[in-house]
Amino acid sequence: MKLIKSIFLFILCLSSVKTFSQYTDVINSNRPGVSRSAFSVGTNVAQFEIGPYILNEKRTPATKTEVSGFGIDFAARYGFLWEELELNIEGTYQNDTKTYFSNIAFDEARSNFKFVTIGAKYLVYDPYKNSENEKPNLYSWKANHSFKWNSLIPAVSIYAGANYDTKNNPYTASGIEGFSPKVMIATQHNLAGGWVFVMNLIKDRIGTDQSDFQYILTLTHSFSPKWVIFGETQGIQSDFYADNLFRFGGAYLWGKDFQLDSAVTFNTKDTPSVFSVNLGASFRLDFHKDKEIDNGNSAKQEGERKSRGSKKSTKVMEDYNKKHKRKKEDFL
């Protein structure tokens, strides 16, 4: 309960920060990689990301084991209150069979959530918010063509969330159950030529026997308005599990609110070796509306001004005609 209260206070503290729009005309998905973008989906946008997968793991040293099965990654994201704020819930459910090769081989059927996390992400720095206001220097060729060092500064967001693990979960360490905190820093560089570089630094299940540190580095390239390819590396370090995973894949923008994707995941060790293939989709319900600025130029206000102007002109003409008529009568 204290953890949930802390997350709520974290969200409230963000209310004093000035906001800028993060909404995009087309869907902005975290898939098919596992890194998280620094940007939110935009206010009043509900986005859903799912990806079923198949996997195979083999452990060859010491006790030989093999895991074969399937699972699904899922996430729901919602832009709430401010453009920078995103609430989300995400997780992975897996169903597999683990085979132990010893004097007598036997199978263990397993199924559970590998993780379920609910949290909030907030953009604390956006280097691109004033990019449209940058104008060329009419008096300096050097100023226009010199390298801009601020382009090296990425967008930065912070994340705070809570994991929930069930008792006797085959995918977690012994004794791990209930709520545990998770925090993350996410950065994003939108580079020239359609390249984007994302970095995540994560501390997960804080205060438990399975507390781990992770880093995720993702590089994507858009070579057309519809197609994107990506490469990713993920490092995991804890007393329970450590690995270096690699992912490659791509995504296709089917429509402005719908994306399809696919990726492969593998590692280079045998404790265990990992190979996985996934297919996924992302779609959004877009109820975003830009805030209207009352600058006095709406059609209604313009009509009222014209109406007042017309009435005023009519009154002026009536006064003029009355005066002119009296002068004419006096002359006669």
Nearest by Cα to 274 from 298, 241, 300, 252: 241
How confident is the model over 259-317, as pLDDT tens digits? 999 999 999 998 899 999 999 999 999 888 876 444 344 444 445 544 555 555 555 45
Q: Where are the domains of the chain?
A: 2-133+145-286, 301-332
For 79-96, the pLDDT digits (tens) are: 998 999 999 999 999 999
Determine the Cα angle at 285 with ends 288 and 79, to 5°.
50
- Cα dihedral 240, 244, 249, 253, rounded to 10, equals 60
Closest CA to 74 of 111, 44, 38, 118: 118
Average pLDDT, the chain: 83
pLDDT of residue 322: 58
Q: Say which CATH topology domain 2-133+145-286 has.
A: Porin (2.40.160)
Average pLDDT over residues 142-165: 80
pLDDT band at 144 (very low <50, low <70, confident <90, very high): low
| Token representation of residue 181 | 């905190």
* φ/ψ of residue 229, rounded to 5: -120, 160
Q: What is the pLDDT of residue 298?
A: 41
pLDDT at position 161: 97
Mean pLDDT of 182-209: 95
* Reported pTM: 0.78
Which pLDDT does position 37 carry in this prediction? 95
Is 80 exceeded by the pLDDT of residue 328? Answer: no
pLDDT reported for residue 16: 39
Beta strands in the chain (DSSP E): 45-59, 64-79, 85-101, 106-125, 155-165, 178-190, 195-204, 212-222, 227-237, 243-255, 258-267, 273-286
Could you tell me the CA-to-CA distances from 8 to 13, 34, 78 in Å, in that order?
A: 9, 25, 16
